[in-house]
Structure 1
Amino acid sequence: MPSTRKTLHYISSALVTTISVGVLGYSMSAKWGKATMECANSLTSKGFAVFTLGLFNGTLNRNDCPSFVNMFPMLVEIGSTPLVLHALVVSLLVLCLVFSAANILISIYNSVSNPYETYMGPVGIYTCGSLSACLSVLVLIIFVLNVNFTNMAEETVKNFPTSSQVELLNKYSEMMVGYYLIILYAVLSLSTIALIYMYDHAAYTHRKEQQKPTEDVPKEIMMY
């Protein structure tokens, strides 16, 4: 049976990972960003269009009249690059959930057993935690690129059924709560690595200290 200290560290790791999964789940249901653009045509004065987007739906607010937008059907109409980048964001987040779930299972398994030298030991925690953190950071980068450097927001306004032909100017984008929660998720994923490393390092140091008396005994005595 594992020691009490090991059990506490691995249970803590499972708990932190569970919290991170909750954070990620809420993040995926929240709004991620907002793009504001000036609208102008030859008939009216300038107005504003505000496109608020999440992972699966968004809201287009033009002339103070909000309209609901389904993200993936809308992205299919726009074209390849925004669709590919957005699908990549969602896919990477799903992988984050998978690795976090694996992290929880490995942590619970280690809290009641000692598969120390296998991939089900600390190596599994390090791998799952690192992949979760790295993929979530990659998601942050891809999403910002998609919002700021593609024509996703502009084409959404132009292609919306109730929109008239307008010229869109001075796009300004900002990230929202769903986006920033991914940063918290990455920090929590790294925290699980820190928790297990603290135990792993302490256990390694303890084993080395137990070996010292034997190493310090003169060879003449050890021969007998």
Structure 2
Amino acid sequence: MPSGTKTLYFMFSAMLTAISVGLLGYAMSTKWSKTTMECSGLVTNNGTAEITLGLFNGILVRDSCPGFGNQDTFSVFSALSNIEVTPLALHGLCLGLLVLCFLSSALSILISLYNSVSNPYETYMGPIGVYTCSSISACLSVLVIIIFVLNLYVTTMAEQLVPSIASIPPVDLTEKKSEMLVGYILLIPYTVLSLLAILLIYLYDHAAYTHRREQEKPTEDAPKEIMMY
């Protein structure tokens, strides 16, 4: 049976990772960004178009772009499949990385719980497993943070989605302004909690290593005559 200290550290690590998984699950179910653009061209009066994006569904609200008070809901992947391939590929990559985050975090929880009730050897089932799985989760979530922003700001995804979703003639969309919403922002605490889970196990591992060294030290410092005897 593991010591009470080891059980406490690994249980706290599992708890932090479980909280991060909950945050990630909620993040994937809610909205990630909102983009507003000025609309002009084949309309008599300038208007606006606003796209609110989640990972799976989105909302397009048009005000005189053209028409008044028009709102359309759409499936993100279906809408992206009708425009250039780059936004679709980047969005799909974000979703794939988030699924890997889920899997690696779940594996980290299982390894932490296993260590809290047993004393596995220093293999992938020990602290090394928690380091590996939680590190993968943190790194992949950072990649998603970067890729999603690049897809939103660097590509012309929003400008292409408006006429595609609304089935309207081409219009000039300028003054694009984007803001990140709850789903995207929750990736930050997810990453932080994954790193804290690593820190907890490192603190235990370091303390355990120091304790082992202290126990071995009296033997190493003993006189050779005593050792021979």
Q: Give TM-score, length-normalised by structure 2.
A: 0.95
Partner SS, residue 173 of structure 1 = strand
Unaligned runs of 5+ in 1: none
Change (3 A) 1:181 1:43: closer
RMSD over equivalenced CA pairs, Å = 1.0
- Whole-angstrom distance in 2 between the partners of 1:15 and 1:83: 35
The residue type paired with residue 35 of structure 1 is T
Q: Deviations over 1:160-213 (max 9, x none)?
A: 235343111111111111101001100000011011111101100000010111
Q: Give the match for residue 44 of structure 1.
A: 44
Q: Which residue of 2 aligns with 1:29?
A: 29
Moved more, 213-222 or 176-185: 213-222
Which residue identity lines up with residue 62 of structure 1 in the other structure?
Answer: R
SS of match in other structure, 1:84: helix
Once the 2 structures are TM-superposed, how far is the Cα of residue 42 of structure 1 from its aligned partner? 4.3
Q: Secondary structure at the match of 1:53?
A: strand
Residue number in structure 1 paired with 2:66: none
Q: Distance in 2 between matches of 1:15 and 1:126?
A: 15
Instruction: Decide which of 122, 127, 134 is 1:129's aligned counterpart.
Output: 134
> 1:186: which partner in 2?
191
* Aligned counterpart in structure 2 of residue 88 of structure 1, from 82, 93, 96: 93
Distance apart, 1:83 and its partner CA: 0.5
Looking at structure 2, the residues matched to 42 and 68 of structure 1 have their Cα atoms a distance apart, in angstroms, of: 23
- Paired AA for residue 184 in structure 2: Y
Of 96, 102, 107, which aligns to 1:102?
A: 107
In structure 2, the partner of 1:54 is 54
Q: Secondary structure at the match of 1:118?
A: coil
> Which SS does the other structure have where 2:71 is aligned?
strand
Which of 152, 160, 166 is equivalent to 1:161?
Answer: 166
SS, match of residue 62 in structure 1:
strand
Q: Deviations over 1:29-82 (max 9, x none)?
A: 111111111000244221110111010011101014321011000010012100
The answer for the alignment partner of 1:12 in structure 2 is: 12
TM-score (norm 1): 0.97
Mapped contact 1:57–1:68 kept (Cα < 8 A): yes
